[in-house]
Amino acid sequence: MGDEKVFRREFGQADPPIQCRTMRSSDSQPQRSPVVVRALACIGAVAVSALAVPATTGAVPRPTLCGHVQGTVAIAAHQVACPRARGVAEDYLHGHKNPDGFRCRRYNVDVAAGWWAKCTRHTAYVQITPE
């Protein structure tokens, strides 16, 4: 009995039993538990961050048409200035396999001149297409 008096003096009266809250038509929203609130916040944060990050996949950008060299060889370039692309194409057509740090590959096809070439360096490239 003495322990009970000390407990009440230190901590006050015992809390009343927990009661469930019922929804009334006057309540605008129900009470949500902290777990649900945290889960909704995490989902919202993920959705916002997914929209903020630009997509790395998608449509491949079209190369810039840089004209012709030697009259009938069309040049297109991506991330390469046109004067440099025409120089790379000229060097390739004169027999240089890897002009100006580019690595060139020739593809055989069954149309037009029968081949086309693509010279790449990292993500930049030059397309060489005889017409």
Per-residue pLDDT of the chain (131 residues; tens, 9 = 90+): 566 665 566 666 655 555 556 555 555 555 666 766 676 665 665 555 555 555 556 677 889 999 999 999 999 999 999 999 999 999 999 999 899 899 999 999 998 789 999 999 999 999 999 98
Interatomic CA distance for residues 45 and 66, integer angstroms: 45
From CA 110, how far away is CA 128, in angstroms rounded? 16
Q: In whole angstroms, give the CA distance from residue 60 to residue 69.
A: 25
Contact present, 115 and 56 (Cβ < 8 Å): no
Q: pLDDT at position 27, please? A: 53
* Predicted local distance difference test score (pLDDT) of residue 32: 63
